[in-house]
Amino acid sequence: MKLVLDEEEIWIIECIKKAHVDCGFHIRDVIKKAKAEYGLCRSTVYEIVSYLEFHGLVKTNKSGNRELDPDVLYFVMCPACGKEIQENESVKENGRIICEDCYLEEHQKIKFADPMAVRSMKLFRKQHGFKGTEGLTELQKEIYNFILEDGGATPEKLSKLFGLTLQETMNQLAILRHCELVKERKLGDEMYIVSFDS
Ligand SMILES: [Zn+2]
């Protein structure tokens, strides 16, 4: 059976690792750490440790103390995409454990309205004599043409249409924005991407 742990359970494992001394760990030390670092109460700690024991992740060693069994595999659910990942495939960021894919995607964010990026993009395009959609990738051209033809589109709609994640779409749109081909327009509660001159 695949053991998938939630965030609190992972926190407890972290605390157990920190509370571990040569002969094992004492639950009192885990409670102290869990309270100080994550604000978890004693009964939650007991509950989770007994759950980990049930699944063999925590075992009693020869000296009669509890310790983590490093050989028992467990998975974590990525809070961003819901994928089940092994601990070594995860990245910790601001206390959150997310999968490598989501980590990369979050760090490849391109700022949409960015005056510096617009300036350097303008200079680059001028140097290369690029006008309109010249110098863009096929995908960027297709997205831009769709926005022109439809008079505007939400990033969500474009994501579905072009089979991209929302972040990928936002990155492509940011590049179009830096070329001053598109801009944002708020219609009611929704954000639309429209042509820059409209
Ligand atoms: Zn993920």
Report the chain's mean pLDDT, rounded to a whole number. Answer: 91
Judged against a pLDDT cut of 80, whether residue 93 lies above it is answered with no
Q: Average of pLDDT values for 27-44?
A: 96
- Tell me how far the alpha carbon of residue 133 lies from the centroid of ligand 1, in angstroms: 33
The confidence band for 193, taking pLDDT boundaries of 50, 70 and 90, is very high
Which numeric CATH code is attached to 4-105? Answer: 1.10.10
pLDDT digits (tens, 9 = 90+) for 17-26: 999 998 999 9
The confidence band for 156, taking pLDDT boundaries of 50, 70 and 90, is very high
- Tell me how far the alpha carbon of residue 8 lies from the centroid of ligand 1, in angstroms: 18
Which numeric CATH code is attached to 108-195? Answer: 1.10.10.10
- Tell me how far the alpha carbon of residue 80 lies from the centroid of ligand 1, in angstroms: 5
- Residue extents of the structural domains in the chain: 4-105, 108-195
Give the pLDDT of residue 113.
Answer: 84
Judged against a pLDDT cut of 80, whether residue 196 lies above it is answered with yes
Sign of the Cα torsion 80, 82, 83, 89 reads positive
pLDDT digits (tens, 9 = 90+) for 125-138: 999 999 999 999 99
| Whether the domain at 4-105 and the domain at 108-195 fall into the same CATH topology | yes
6 by DSSP, 3-state: which?
A: coil
Give the pLDDT of residue 21.
Answer: 93
Smallest CA-to-CA distance from 159 within 147, 170, 151 is with: 170
Judged against a pLDDT cut of 80, whether residue 94 lies above it is answered with no
152 in Cβ contact with 192 (< 8 Å): yes
- Tell me how far the alpha carbon of residue 81 lies from the centroid of ligand 1, in angstroms: 4
75 by DSSP, 3-state: which?
A: strand
- Tell me how far the alpha carbon of residue 79 lies from the centroid of ligand 1, in angstroms: 7
Give the span between the Cα atoms of 157 and 166, in whole angstroms: 9
